[in-house]
């Protein structure tokens, strides 16, 4: 139950003064639906203004506050801006420029001959001084109301900065004095003040405001919750699984196991033999052989007389796993079945009966395999594929399908830097497959200017003419006035004009079954070109697809480019990836594309992505189903993850856990950052 002291922070923003229907939409768009959301909505930057009495060339580029008097209105035509010519008190001229279709409102705000106080960035336009859209226009007696130092917030259409400041101030007035959850020596070493002081400083004082403390709080709560999960898991009664190896020895593998695979298998076997349930994450780049490692864990369970379950995020991926595992298990006395939302009637009933009586040894499927009415005789090992599609809460639910908690192996093909692995999967032990099986081909990656798009399409024609298939990835679904990126629907239409029905389209707004049907058509080679948004970042293997074209590649992060590239190279044919870039590149974009040409090593790419993106969000690593980091940036996570983890460990091991005085404060932090799934796990807490 949420501590009462936090109730004001979880109140709705619509309860604040002056919020009506008009403001509700932009607040929702910014995810500012509760009071605490406003408190953690930190300024993007601080605007510094300079009060001046006269216009001066030396102030060009500065944001100034000055009194002016409008003397003339000028416009050059229907689409030209309105220019309000004005003078300062010394008679120096400035042009106030307003873009837009309604010239009446600037004239109303700036009547001729009436002095006004204005604020804005002073610029040069030709031979005259200019200010485009002053950010403040007030009466002379109100001039002192313009702040010399002002926080500027991330905004949405319909919500201005002034209104945002008013809402934040109302939220700050509701902020309670919270007890301290940070270990005292850590607090002293960083010279951090208490929570209320820090949350106020972020919004009110540029020099004193320090979001590091607030970021640390969030990381600490995250790590503490993970530790509570681990502690709860160790206290549970698991199923020691020790297979005799008879089934694994009969496997006819397509290639020898790599040293990396063998090491991971040994780590997993060690966990399975314990009475405490395994919680392990298996990381491996695309094509590294994670599924084979998972199969070894499932066969260990079957050898010991138990059952295994394999969860995939989509039906089509579940069916692909079912078919590939069936081939590997040919000739072995292992009964493997599949269960998805598509399975109905007698076939479904037969599968459910087989699970209950134990005649089905391994079940593959989607979320359907863990629904309430699905009963297992003796489930011992559960495997989750594409782990980042499932959140901590979902992982915990999966372990509740047996009298004794089954071992859980989670897999991800998204390479994640070590510091972020700790913050995303902190309740798990981690195994890494960091080498590819012999014979796995590297993908030839080239960067091509958008000006050569016709050549790319001609090359695509030759590729599909020779029997190949290709992906064409676009970053948007449809046109946007704010972006010149080619839309997936428009690109599909353009390609269909040349290639006809050989072109298909998938995007995020399609329903699951519709998306699966189109992917199946591509898998069966019924269509040659699949135009897609990033929904194919994680998907089925299409061995015949050996060309990946990524449009506007300079707009993607490295991790996502690598995941998309991994959709090809699944067969025996040499594969290629074409990264189409814009005409102008930032230094960061240039560095990303250069690295993509240099290496296919996903772990190196992930670490570099973190370095290049800094405070940006690393695509592909956020968990679905749980609150991600709202305050802490990846850079801050890297900086504070070690200290926060140690701090949380001290609380549990030395300072009395959640029952102690600091523990009670830490409980408040868990609820504040919505990691309360950790609170409920500790029986004594």
- Section 70-94 average pLDDT: 91
- Section 394-400 average pLDDT: 62
Cα dihedral 367/372/377/380 (nearest 10): 50
- Section 254-258 average pLDDT: 85
Query: Where is pLDDT greater, at 261 or 613?
Result: 261
* CA 464/CA 547 separation, integer angstroms: 10
* CA 53/CA 344 separation, integer angstroms: 80
* CA 257/CA 116 separation, integer angstroms: 78
DSSP letter, residue 566: T
* CA 70/CA 96 separation, integer angstroms: 9
CA atoms within 13 A on the CB side of 661: 4
* CA 215/CA 647 separation, integer angstroms: 14
- Per-residue 3-state assignment (H helix, E strand, C coil) for 345-374: HHHHHHHHHHHHHCCCCEEEECHHHHCCCC
> Residue for token digits 């003419």?
465
* CA 327/CA 307 separation, integer angstroms: 19
Residue 564 · residue 433 · CB < 8 Å: no
Residue 616 has pLDDT above 80, yes or no: no
Q: What is the pLDDT of residue 622?
A: 35
Q: What is the pLDDT of residue 168?
A: 96
CA atoms within 13 A on the CB side of 285: 24
* CA 151/CA 167 separation, integer angstroms: 13
The burial class, CB within 10 Å (0-12 / 13-18 / 19+), for 559 is: buried
Any idea which architecture 4-44+160-204 has in CATH? Orthogonal Bundle (1.10)
- Give tens-digit pLDDT for 27-59: 999 999 999 999 999 998 899 999 999 999 999
Residues 6+ apart with CB under 8 A from 467: 544
- Section 183-210 average pLDDT: 87
Confidence label for 439 from pLDDT (cuts 50, 70 and 90): low
Residue 447 · residue 597 · CB < 8 Å: yes
DSSP calls for 36-92? HHHHT---SEEEEEEE-SS--GGGTTSEEEEEEEEEEEEE-STTSPEEEEEE-TT--
**What residue spans of 116-245 are helical by DSSP H?**
161-173, 184-190, 195-204, 211-235
Q: Shortest CA distance to 52 belongs to which of 117, 138, 114?
A: 117
Return the structure tokens found at 334: 């292992």
> Residue for token digits 């609150």?
627
* CA 334/CA 336 separation, integer angstroms: 6
Query: Where is pLDDT greater, at 86 or 397?
Result: 86
Average the pLDDT over each of 50-64, 232-246, 433-447, 593-607 and give the range with the smallest value.
Answer: 433-447
Confidence label for 397 from pLDDT (cuts 50, 70 and 90): low
* CA 159/CA 152 separation, integer angstroms: 12
Percent of the chain clearing pLDDT 70 (strictly above) = 91
Residue 513 has pLDDT above 90, yes or no: no
The distance of Cα 96 from the centroid of its chain, to the nearest Å, equals 42
Residue 627 has pLDDT above 60, yes or no: no
Residue 502 has pLDDT above 50, yes or no: yes
Domain boundaries, the chain: 4-44+160-204, 46-152, 215-234+641-681, 239-433, 444-599
Give the class (CATH, top level) of 444-599. alpha beta
Q: Shortest CA distance to 488 belongs to which of 466, 509, 459?
A: 509
Residue 630 has pLDDT above 80, yes or no: yes
DSSP letter, residue 145: G
> Residue for token digits 């989750």?
384
Confidence label for 481 from pLDDT (cuts 50, 70 and 90): very low
Residue 71 · residue 84 · CB < 8 Å: no
Q: What is the pLDDT of residue 260?
A: 94
Residues 6+ apart with CB under 8 A from 575: 441, 443, 444, 546, 547, 548, 568, 569
**Which segment, 95-104, 204-213, 258-267, 426-435, is predicted with the most confidence on average?**
258-267
Q: Do domains 239-433 and 444-599 have the same CATH topology?
A: yes
Q: Which residues lie across from 12 on neighbouring strands?
A: 34
Average the pLDDT over each of 74-78, 169-173, 301-305 and give the range with the smallest value.
Answer: 74-78
Residue 2 has pLDDT above 60, yes or no: yes
Residue 678 has pLDDT above 90, yes or no: no
Residue 337 · residue 362 · CB < 8 Å: yes
* CA 337/CA 356 separation, integer angstroms: 13
Q: What is the pLDDT of residue 423?
A: 77
CATH number for the domain formed by residue range(s) 46-152? 2.40.50.140
- Section 113-142 average pLDDT: 95
- Section 475-491 average pLDDT: 59
Confidence label for 400 from pLDDT (cuts 50, 70 and 90): low
- Section 153-161 average pLDDT: 91
Q: Which fold has domain 239-433?
A: Rossmann fold (3.40.50)
Percent of the chain clearing pLDDT 90 (strictly above) = 59
* CA 82/CA 242 separation, integer angstroms: 80
Confidence label for 255 from pLDDT (cuts 50, 70 and 90): confident
Confidence label for 420 from pLDDT (cuts 50, 70 and 90): confident
Q: What is the pLDDT of residue 22?
A: 87
Q: Shortest CA distance to 444 belongs to which of 555, 548, 541?
A: 548
Residue 402 has pLDDT above 70, yes or no: no
Residue 543 has pLDDT above 90, yes or no: no
Average the pLDDT over each of 36-50, 264-278, 424-438, 451-465 and give the range with the smallest value.
Answer: 424-438
* SS3 assignment, position 406: coil
Return the structure tokens found at 234: 């160790």
Q: Shortest CA distance to 472 belongs to which of 621, 558, 576?
A: 576
Residue 623 has pLDDT above 50, yes or no: no
Confidence label for 534 from pLDDT (cuts 50, 70 and 90): confident
* CA 551/CA 467 separation, integer angstroms: 23
Q: Shortest CA distance to 51 belongs to which of 151, 153, 149?
A: 149
Q: What is the pLDDT of residue 418?
A: 73
Residues 6+ apart with CB under 8 A from 51: 64, 65, 66, 148
* CA 381/CA 193 separation, integer angstroms: 47
């Amino acid at each position: 139950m949420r501590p009462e002291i936090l109730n004001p922070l979880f109140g709705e923003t619509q309860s604040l003064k002056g919020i009506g229907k008009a403001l509700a939409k932009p607040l929702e768009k910014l995810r500012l639906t509760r009071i605490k959301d406003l408190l953690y909505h930190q300024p993007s930057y601080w605007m510094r203004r300079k009060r001046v009495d006269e216009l001066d060339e030396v102030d060009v580029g500065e944001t100034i506050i000055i009194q002016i008097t409008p003397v003339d209105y000028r416009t050059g035509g229907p689409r030209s801006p309105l220019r309000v010519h004005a003078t300062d008190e010394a008679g120096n001229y400035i042009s106030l420029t307003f873009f837009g279709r309604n010239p009446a409102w600037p004239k109303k705000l700036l009547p001729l001959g009436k002095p006004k106080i204005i604020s804005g960035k002073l610029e040069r336009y030709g031979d005259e001084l200019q200010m485009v859209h002053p950010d403040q226009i007030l009466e002379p007696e109100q001039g002192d109301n313009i702040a010399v130092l002002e926080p500027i917030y991330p905004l949405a259409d319909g919500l201005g900065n002034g209104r945002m400041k008013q809402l934040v101030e109302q939220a700050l007035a509701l902020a309670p004095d919270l007890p301290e959850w940070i270990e005292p020596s850590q607090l002293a070493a960083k010279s951090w003040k208490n929570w209320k002081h820090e949350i106020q400083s972020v919004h009110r004082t540029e020099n004193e405001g320090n979001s590091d403390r607030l970021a640390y709080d969030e990381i600490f709560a995250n790590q503490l919750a993970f530790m509570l999960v681990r502690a709860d898991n160790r206290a549970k009664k698991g199923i020691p699984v020790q297979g005799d190896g008879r089934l694994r020895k009969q496997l006819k593998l397509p290639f020898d196991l790599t040293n990396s695979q063998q090491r991971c298998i040994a780590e997993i076997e060690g966990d399975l033999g314990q009475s405490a349930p395994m919680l392990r994450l298996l990381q491996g780049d695309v094509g590294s052989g994670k599924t084979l490692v998972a199969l070894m864990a499932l066969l260990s369970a079957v050898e010991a007389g138990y059952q295994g379950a394999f969860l995939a995020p989509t039906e089509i991926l579940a069916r692909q796993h079912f078919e590939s595992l069936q081939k590997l298990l040919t000739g072995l006395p292992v009964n493997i079945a599949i269960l998805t939302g598509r399975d109905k009637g007698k076939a479904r009933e037969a599968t459910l009966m087989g699970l209950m009586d134990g005649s089905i040894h391994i079940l593959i499927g989607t979320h359907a395999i863990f629904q309430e009415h699905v009963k297992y005789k003796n489930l011992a090992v559960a495997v989750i594929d594409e782990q980042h599609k499932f959140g901590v809460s979902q992982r915990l639910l999966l372990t509740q399908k047996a009298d004794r908690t089954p071992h859980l192996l989670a897999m991800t093909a998204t390479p994640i830097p070590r510091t972020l692995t700790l913050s995303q999967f902190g309740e798990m032990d981690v195994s890494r497959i960091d080498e590819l099986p012999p014979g796995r081909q590297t993908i030839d990656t080239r960067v091509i200017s958008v000006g050569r798009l016709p050549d790319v399409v001609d090359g695509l024609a030759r590729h599909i003419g020779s029997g190949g298939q290709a992906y064409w990835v676009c970053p948007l679904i449809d046109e946007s006035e704010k972006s010149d990126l080619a839309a997936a629907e428009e690109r599909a239409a353009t390609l269909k004009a040349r290639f006809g029905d050989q072109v298909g389209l998938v995007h995020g707004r399609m329903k699951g079954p519709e998306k699966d049907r189109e992917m199946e058509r591509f898998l069966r080679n019924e269509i040659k070109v699949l135009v897609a948004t990033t929904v194919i970042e994680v998907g089925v293997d299409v061995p015949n697809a050996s060309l990946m074209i990524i449009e506007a590649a300079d707009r993607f992060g490295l991790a996502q480019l690598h995941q998309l590239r991994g959709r090809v190279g699944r067969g025996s044919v040499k594969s290629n990836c074409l990264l189409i870039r814009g005409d102008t590149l930032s230094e960061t974009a240039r560095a990303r594309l250069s690295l993509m040409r240099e290496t296919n090593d996903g772990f190196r790419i992930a670490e570099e992505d973190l370095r290049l993106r800094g405070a940006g969000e690393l695509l592909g690593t956020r968990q679905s189903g749980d609150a991600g980091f709202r305050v802490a940036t990846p850079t801050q996570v890297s900086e504070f993850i070690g200290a926060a983890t140690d701090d949380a460990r001290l609380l549990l091991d030395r300072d009395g856990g959640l029952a102690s005085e600091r523990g009670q404060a830490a409980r408040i932090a868990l609820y504040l950052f919505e990691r309360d799934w950790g609170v409920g796990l500790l029986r004594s807490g």
